Amino acid sequence: MATQNLRHALFCAVVTLVISYPILGLNLEAWGTNVVLTGANTTTVISVLLAAVAVFLFQLFRDRIMGTLGKLPPISPFANREPMPQAKWERLKSAFLTLLIIAGLIWPFVASRGAVDLSTLVLIYIMLALGLNVVVGLAGLLDLGYVAFYAVGAYTFALLSQYFGVSFWLALPIGALLAATFGFLLGFPVLRLRGDYLAIVTLGFGEIIRILLNNWTQLTGGPNGIGGIPDPTLFGMEFGRRVREEGNTSFHETFGIAYSSEHKVIFLYLIALVLAVITALVIRRLMRMPVGRAWEALREDEIAARSLGLSRTAVKLSAFTIGAFFAGFAGTVFASKQGFISPESFVFLESAIILAIVVLGGMGSQIGVILAAIAVTILPELAREFSEYRMLIFGAAMVLMMVWRPQGLMPMRRTHIELKKQE
């Protein structure tokens, strides 16, 4: 009982910290023309810490405190309950997702510009992680070079816009399809490989793409990257102060509102949100279709899957291609958001982070992966104050996670064993 109380109290204190610090502590301040995210001053930090300590102490001694008050609800809300019926869990899950999407839609209009910008990045990572989840989580193919497809998507848009003036909306499907083609082509040689060998070949592929982009100076600009990538337009309306392309109008003039650089940020965020939702819905559907079960069957037992007449080639290629497709999607949005891309953005560490998101979230679980993408992208930003130690903290968090919840934040649910009622 004592250890349970202690763990519960610790958990509550950490939640208090995580929730109250960003809300109370982080400020956006104008520094000349820039907006800077600054940390809290000492009083706020101290009061947040005090609040956490208060929560911790209360939860630790709640039995005694509540006992004197005459009420003693059970500490674990799940202690005396029946397991949740499957249908209810499903309903809860879709309600949660709907709520998440609605919150996502309202968010940019209440949050600061920096926060919206960061959220766009989070959404890009969500797309990437959902795509990789198909390859690693469902089909069980360890892909360490996933960032290559992200790079293909981003560079497709950058190059097309630089050489042919192609707009975002046209580049989006082209980038995704080209990335999917790369996934398909890579799929062929690696089909025979499994486990470690597959990981090494995909790792190599990721590096090949990056080095190619770095050295093909005439086409890609090499390490200098490509700049001036246009922003997306809304039915021909541009978000800049002045119209860049003939025939377009600008957003603020059309609607007769004052120009604000925030419009563009919010618009990009909304595009990323819509694309992330589409990604999630499409993959969710695929998971429930026979092809989704075929991926899982191949991951569970390749020989058995083949004995049932499944073609190893077709199943693996479909996973690779679909995963790459969504990476291409994310890449195009990324290029548009940054306005400038260089091979620097597509190093192995990116692949590792996306993979970490999938593993942390719980392989195969969509909600888990989404939560993990949020956590992994935002945590380093929040810990910016600790500057050089933040990667250390990030690493420690990962290790602790692996010790306590090796199956991930929200592992994929499948078991529906109904526990027998006691007498």
Partner 1 sequence: MSMLALEDVHTHYGKIEALHGVSVEVNRGEIVSLIGANGAGKTTLLMTVCGSPQATSGRVILEGRDITREPTASIMRSGIAIVPEGRRIFSGLTVEENLHMGGFFNTKAEIRKSQAYVYELFPRLKEREHQRAGTMSGGEQQMLAIGRALMSKPSMIILDEPSLGLAPLVIKQIFEIIGQLRDEGMTVFLVEQNAHQALGLADRGYVLETGRIRLHDTGANLLANPDVQNAYLGG
Interface residue list for partner 1 (CB under 8 A): 290, 293-294, 296-297, 299-301, 303-312, 314, 414-418
What's the min distance (Å) between Cβ of 89 and partner 1?
Answer: 13
Of 245 and 300, nearer to partner 1 (C-beta) is 300
Of 294 and 410, nearer to partner 1 (C-beta) is 294
Q: What is the Cα 9 distance to its own chain's centre?
A: 29
Of 90 and 344, nearer to partner 1 (C-beta) is 90
What's the min distance (Å) between Cβ of 363 and partner 1?
Answer: 10
* Residue labelled with tokens 């390749």: 302
Give the residue from 345, 269, 227 showing the smallest Cα distance to 117: 269
**Helix, strand, or coil (residue 35):** strand
Give the residue from 331, 220, 229 showing the smallest Cα distance to 275: 331
CA separation for the pair 354, 326 (Å, rounded):
13
What's the min distance (Å) between Cβ of 141 and partner 1?
Answer: 16
CA separation for the pair 167, 329 (Å, rounded):
14
Of 30 and 303, nearer to partner 1 (C-beta) is 303
Helix (H) or strand (E) holding 30: strand 27-31
What's the min distance (Å) between Cβ of 354 and partner 1?
Answer: 23
What's the min distance (Å) between Cβ of 306 and partner 1?
Answer: 6
CA separation for the pair 210, 206 (Å, rounded):
6
Of 210 and 299, nearer to partner 1 (C-beta) is 299
What's the min distance (Å) between Cβ of 296 and partner 1?
Answer: 6
* Residue labelled with tokens 């595009």: 271
Sign (positive or negative) of CA dihedral 266, 271, 273, 274 = positive
What's the min distance (Å) between Cβ of 414 and partner 1?
Answer: 6
- Determine how many CB atoms are found less than 10 A away from the CB of residue 209: 22
* Residue labelled with tokens 């419009």: 263
CA separation for the pair 122, 275 (Å, rounded):
12
Structure tokens at 394: 């990030």
What's the min distance (Å) between Cβ of 223 and partner 1?
Answer: 44
- Which phi and psi (to 5°) does residue 194 adopt? -140, 155
Orientation angle between helical segments 262-288 and 86-110, nearest 10 degrees: 170
What's the min distance (Å) between Cβ of 6 and partner 1?
Answer: 33
Of 252 and 312, nearer to partner 1 (C-beta) is 312
What's the length of the chain?
A: 423
Of 128 and 297, nearer to partner 1 (C-beta) is 297
- Determine how many CB atoms are found less than 10 A away from the CB of residue 383: 16
Contact predicate 353/110, CB 8 Å: no
Of 8 and 293, nearer to partner 1 (C-beta) is 293
Of 25 and 361, nearer to partner 1 (C-beta) is 361
